[in-house]
Amino acid sequence: MDRLKLATVWLGGCSGCHMSFLDLDEFLLELGQRVDVVYSPLVDAKEYPEGVDVCLIEGAVANTDHLELLERIRRCTRVLVSFGDCAVTGNVTAMRNVLGPKNAELVLQRAYLECAQDNPMLPRAEGIVPALLPKVVPVHEVVPVEHYLPGCPPPADRIRAVLEALLEGRAPALEGPQLKFG
């Protein structure tokens, strides 16, 4: 049987969803038998490959790098899963949007100038530090998404339920308290 080609990414997220993923504990061993992790912050892949079956996307879309990567992910992947509240709703990452059209500028100024103790300076490195997007958005506002896995972070059993369904070729059917945000 072909192994499922699984990828995970974190965009504008805290990586907490990935920590929760690691909370799968023994199931990870089983998972390791049934999937090939072809791209992930947890493994050593430099470029997002083609022909990916499932990608778990953590984090909201907050800078130009995220946008670029997401476009590539969508083109190269069959099933996208918005993984965690930041990907599903924007969550904490999107809170800067309330500051209005100049929110990106304002948060950079606050973090790197007003609150800096030594060497106040806005980070700038052409081609290395990506620009912040004027508005942080959930993943599905940029590309269509097949499934949603809410939670901050989603508890491990919720992640497992989704993975098991996808492995068996079913659509994950989270319901009730399994859909709770936060």
Partner 1 sequence: MDLNQLLAIKERELASRKPYTLRVCTAAGCLSAGSDQVKKQLERAVAEAGLSDQVEVRCVGCLRLCCQGPLVHVDPVNELYQKVGPETAPALLERVRGGAPPLEKADLQHPFFTRQFSIVLANSGVVDPERIESYIAADGYRALHDAVIEMEPREVIQAVMASGLRGRGGAGFPTGLKWSTVAKSGGARKYVVCNADEGDPGAFMDRSVLESDPHSVLEGMAIAAYAVGAEQGFIYVRAEYPLAIRRLRMAIEQARRLGILGSGIFGSPLNFNVELRIGAGAFVCGEETALMASIEGRRGTPRPRPPFPAESGLWGCPTLINNVETFANVPAILRNGAEWFASIGTEKSKGTKVFALAGRVKNTGLIEVPMGTTLRTIVEEMGGGAPGGARIKAVQTGGPSGGCVPAELMDVEVDYESLTRLGSIMGSGGMIVMDETTDMVDVARFFMEFCKDESCGKCIPCRAGTVQMYGLLTKILEGRATARDLATLEELCDMVKHTSLCGLGQTAPNPVLSTLRFFRHEYERRLRPERHVASAVQPVTG
Partner 2 sequence: MAALTLTIDGKPVSAPAGTTVLEAAQDAGIRIPTLCHLEGVYDVGACRLCLVEVAGSNKLLPACTTQIAEGMEVWTDTDRLRKYRRMTLELLFAERNHVCSVCVSNGNCELQALAWEAGMDHVRYPYQHPQLEVDQTHPLFGMDHNRCILCTRCVRVCWHIEGAGTKNVAGRGADCRIITDLNQPWGESDSCTNCGKCVMACPTGALYYKGVTTGEMVRDRRKLEFIVTAREQKQWIA
Instruction: List, in order, residues 6 or more apart from 42 with CB less than 8 Å away.
Output: 8, 18, 22
Please report how close the Cβ of residue 31 comes to partner 2 at its closest, in angstroms.
Answer: 23
Name the residue with tokens 């992910």.
73
Helix (H) or strand (E) holding 31: helix 27-34
Binding to partner 1 in span 10-69, by CB under 8 A? 34, 53-54
Name the token pair of 99.
């500051």
146 binds partner 1 (CB under 8 A): yes
Instruction: List, in order, residues 6 or more apart from 135 with CB less than 8 Å away.
Output: 97, 103
Residue 95 interface partner, choices partner 2, partner 1, none, CB cut-off 5-8 Å depending on type: partner 2
Please report how close the Cβ of residue 29 comes to partner 1 at its closest, in angstroms.
Answer: 18
Report whether 71 contacts 77 (CB < 8 A). Answer: no
Q: Which stretch binds partner 1 (CB under 8 A): 18-26, 58-66, 88-96, 141-149?
A: 141-149
72 binds partner 1 (CB under 8 A): no
Nearer to partner 2, 97 or 109 (CB): 97
Is there a cis peptide before residue 49, judged by omega within 30 degrees of 0? no
In the complex, the residues that contact partner 1 under the rule CB under 8 A are 1-2, 4, 34, 53-54, 74-75, 78-80, 143-146, 166-171
